[in-house]
Amino acid sequence: IWATAPFLHNGSVPTLRALLDAPADRPKTFTLGGWEYDPVGVGFAPYSGPRPFTFDTTLKGNSNAGHEYGTDLSDADKDALVEYLKTL
């Protein structure tokens, strides 16, 4: 699971940790283009190298709304769930 970022069917959520946030709190934009891993959020780290691609979730077809799995968990429970998911 940890190696399949970005997440959701359209790749609109950069990390597993962000996926556990309410859709309104998820990143609206993020940059891709490298392979650096974010071990805390579990996904790709923001890319700042040459020719980054900015994923904009406000564009048609790029929405990261819905799929509200675990969004009402406490932050501690979300962190624990992410740690568990790292083992899969």
Name the amino acid, one letter, at 28: K
Q: pLDDT at position 66, please?
A: 86
Per-position DSSP letters for 2-13, written without gaps between them: TTS-SBTTTT-B
- pLDDT, tens digit, 9 for 90 and up, residues 39-48: 999 998 999 9
Q: pLDDT at position 3, please?
A: 75
The H or E element that residue 37 is part of is strand 37-38
Q: Who's near 34: CB < 8 A, 6+ residues apart?
A: 44, 45, 47, 49
Q: pLDDT at position 25, please?
A: 96
Asked whether 70 and 30 are in contact (CB, 8 A), the reply is no
* Ordered mean pLDDT values, 10 residues apiece, the chain (88 residues): 85 95 96 92 93 96 92 96 91
- Provide the whole-model pTM: 0.89
